[in-house]
Structure 1
Amino acid sequence: MSSRASQEIERLLGLHPKGFDLSLGRITRLLDTLGNPHLNLPPVIHVAGTNGKGSATAFSRALLEAAGYTVHVHTSPHLVRWHERYRLGAPGKGKIVNDDTLFEAVRRVADANAGQQITVFEILTAVTFVLFAEHPADAVILEVGLGGRFDATNVIPEPAVSVIMPISLDHQSYLGDRVELIAAEKAGIIKAGCPVIIGAQEHDAARTVLIETAERRDCPYSVYGQDFLSFEERGRMVYQDNVGLMDLPLPNLPGRHQLANAAAAIQAVRTAGFTIPDHAVETAMGTVEWPARMQRLTKGNLVDMAVPGSEIWLDGGHNPGAGMVIAEAIATLEDRSQRPLFLITGMINTKDPVGYFEAFTGMARHVYTVPIRSSDAGIPHEELALAAQEAGLSAEPVYSVENALKILRDSWDKSEPAPRILIGGSLYLAGDVLSENGTPPQ
């Protein structure tokens, strides 16, 4: 079902070049024509990083909403509908923008641009600022699209806090092929004198660049592992910072990496000046949700096609760093029945498929590789199967997720425990799966 807003965005995609054009000149010009809505926002939590920025955004939203604040949230990309990029603050819980409101905003921004050269991502970012400036809320959580320094969101002059999550190699063609070059791009969201939160970094080189940038710009900063941290103890999460300790339930998002993501969010919202009582932090750990990030699918069209009793997980992580944390999350799922693991994977051609698959060596019994329907940049599924084999996995190309689930069901030995199935490798694939399953983000 196509909506008016979606049709208008598709029309713009036909007019303007696809992709990213890394500079801020055009978005600044457009915002000026619109009356600079980005200067009339509630306090902004600006989030960058290669992995974990979506989770940090989700935790920050859960924390603020649990404490009674209204929160606007910008994320990208979307999974099923363009509307998901814009969640408007409302008492209790924010809501994804409705179609009429989005259509009017997109039309206004496109009219203001008056056919000048621009990318659609820049138009959609201007739409973010128009929507968030015109609807009252207590806070804005703004997720960076790509990189940081030249990302269209980086026109915010004084964020309440800049958050930089784990950095690893991704988008090398845009951002550079060494982790410190990528860190320097992400550090572009650090503004003079504005507080900075540095999330858990696997690479010392990245951490060093971020700290040096914060010091050079005279920013107060907090570093994960130094100024705040979190760990699991007796099935609980312990959060610790300079204020003290908090004993919390484990987050609703599975995987040990989510403890560090939650810690960065707690530190960020407090640093941004919001009062979050301990009971609200507890509530947030249980209510946080983030579609397609270790999301368990329990009902829907595709679930019905699987081996009865299967455990099906969906994750859009798509680079070697994400592969490692997903593999670790799966390894720690408590399970006495020893379910065998199968992967159904599709990826786009800017990624490192062998690096992603290597994380699952010795864990996955078999990989089904699939094409991605919603992207023309998908790696051909035959080629992807060869990449999985190169990583040491047993793999075969099939035509679709549905096809893979049926093959598995028809050949299943009923004396075995039902399988654990991880569908992943791409946010495009994850979006297709949620759409086909009949369970889009709400």
Structure 2
Amino acid sequence: MSEQILTHARLVLDEDVISGSLVIRDGMIADIDTAPSQLPAAIDCDNDYLLPGLIELHTDNMEKHFQPRPKVAWPSRQAALAHDAQMAASGITTVFDAVSIGDVDEQSMRHGALDEMVAALGAIVDDGLARVDHRLHLRCEVCHPDTLTRFCSLADTPLLGLVSLMDHAPGQRQFASLDAYRVYYQGKYGLNDTDLETFITAQLANSERYSDEHRQTIAAECRKRGLPLASHDDATLAHVAESREYGTQIAEFPTTREAAEASHRAGMAVMMGAPNVVRGGSHSGNIAATTLVELGVLDILSSDYYPAALLDAVFRIARMAGGYALPRAVATASRQPAEAVGLNDRGRLAAGLRADLLRVRLIDDHPMLQRVWSRGRQVH
């Protein structure tokens, strides 16, 4: 029987922060006590915080390791392991790795390397090489011609735990403004005015032809399999109503206050990006995550494109004026994402749950990770 005792820690529980000890036994939390341990083998946490491990539902970080520079493909196992190590070093002990089905850019590595990324992720998990718990999140670009076919080919992948429906066609959600769409894609791909208009025409045609059918069919397949479903970039009440119709559980990155509040009222967990919190606002001019904190409707934080932002954002919203108390702030990156996707064995400090734990020290108000445990095993 493997046992570790962590003592003299500030334990962040569901509703309170207490000083005490926590016992890990065989990878699980065995006991929590308000008294310090007197056992010589106990690990003295020196009054650091002890939190549940963070749970990340939407990050495209793995893609960056597979293609660290344009036109540079990295060996798949090394890429997957480097990503895994970065998750552990960021305090993320459960990660839903988001890979894209369909891309407006036909030359994107996302389109060509999809199967390779899924296979590499499965391999490091099956071989026992992963430090943290990995699940798969399929981001389905519903306006792409091949999305439904490729989704069906991956829908029964054992690691699949979350599916999101997105449409980045001009005039949709994040790009409701065609002017904003032109600025973004002309800058991203270096298109001249003529090529940009050709590109827009093609994307509009694809959206018109494929989006509704793909959205409806994929949502139905998720319901059949019991897979959690997320919307993406909802901007209007009509978008929220559509998401409710499909049985959506998570509202990823709503772009407006009205969409966020309506999603929250409808029982969907509202997810916002931790980089939005750290930077003080959205890089694309959408609603600020801190505004939703002040309104009490931000339910889940995601590191999105910057893994280290997640822990930082948790402590930022705990100390901001009008923010959340620390237990509620921690829950946005632990208990609430776990509940949203049906993981009932983690996300909290409680006896009988997985010993996914973080030891955190505040230095100049900045959270610094001291230790990370994944199922009782120290991984950082």
Same fold (TM over 0.5): no
**More strand, by proportion:** 2
- TM-score norm. by structure 1 comes to 0.26
- Highest RCO, 1 vs 2 (Cα 8 Å, sep ≥ 6): 2
